[in-house]
Amino acid sequence: MPSADDRERFERDETDRSVALHGIFEEWLASLQPPKSAEWCEMSGVPRTIAAEQAGQADLTVLGRPLADDPDYVRQAFDGVLYDARATVLITPLRCRQTLARHPVIAWYPSASLEQLITEARPLLEQASQITVIIGEERENEEKIPDIVQELRSVNIPVSVDRFIIPTVGVGEEVRKRALSAGGDLLIMGAYTHSHFLEWLFGGATWDILAHDTLPILTHH
């Protein structure tokens, strides 16, 4: 059982963290031009549960990447949003980028979740300057060109298709490499699972992956 001193120290640390985060929020809000309205909300409870509940009620949840030395509650909240909530999630990169969604890259794989995600992202896609669709195949030209390609081309958005044969290992690294080579500034992906999403995308252990920089990722569980 924690002692009275332990509880007091915990409460003090939590208060200090809350004050620091609120200060960052206020500074960010004041910097927005034109000004925007935003609400600061604090809740007490299990981080994973709270994060999942709130993400499930939102149209879009913006999620930072945990670092290797982050405290456990950061990873709990990350897992809650990414794996427990039926949420559309934007995972931010480690470094600030100058543009977002000027050149989206769609990692295509036929799935209901990706089709839903593309429907939700349609207004964003229609404002893009260029779109790249990456298609991994077992055999050359095995996958048909998805309908979204022609739909976007019909409204005069340049869409390029990049096909590749899926390698035995490292398919995620291949997707990442091609997305970056195309000049993309947003990677759009479909369904994922707790054990395979980030491993599929980058290979290796999940928390090591998150320490490596890449594009922002828009996805939906």
Three-state DSSP at 24 gives helix
Which tokens in the block code for residue 89? Answer: 């999630």
User: What pLDDT digit, counting tens, does each position of 124-134 carry?
Assistant: 999 999 999 99
What letter does residue 83 receive in the DSSP assignment? I
Between the two ends of the chain, the Cα-to-Cα distance in Å is 38
Q: Does residue 44 surpass a pLDDT of 50?
A: yes
User: What whole-number distance in Å separates Cα of residue 30 and Cα of residue 91?
Assistant: 23
Classify strands 88-91 and 61-63 as parallel, antiparallel or unpaired: parallel
Q: Give the per-residue pLDDT at 145.
A: 93
Task: List all residues 6 or more positions away from 65 whose beta carbon is below 8 Å from its beta carbon.
Answer: 78, 91, 92, 93, 94, 210, 211
Domain 104-220 -> CATH class: alpha beta
Is residue 34 reached through a cis peptide bond, with omega within 30 degrees of 0 on the bond before it? yes
Domain boundaries, the chain: 4-91, 104-220
User: What pLDDT digit, counting tens, does each position of 52-90 carry?
Assistant: 999 999 999 999 887 778 889 998 998 899 889 988 999
Lowest mean pLDDT among 158-162, 178-182, 210-214: 210-214
Residue 76 φ/ψ, nearest 5 degrees: -60, -45
Looking at every residue in the chain, the average pLDDT score rounds to: 87
Total-model pTM: 0.85
Distances (CA, A) of 101 to 24, 47, 97, 126: 25, 30, 11, 10
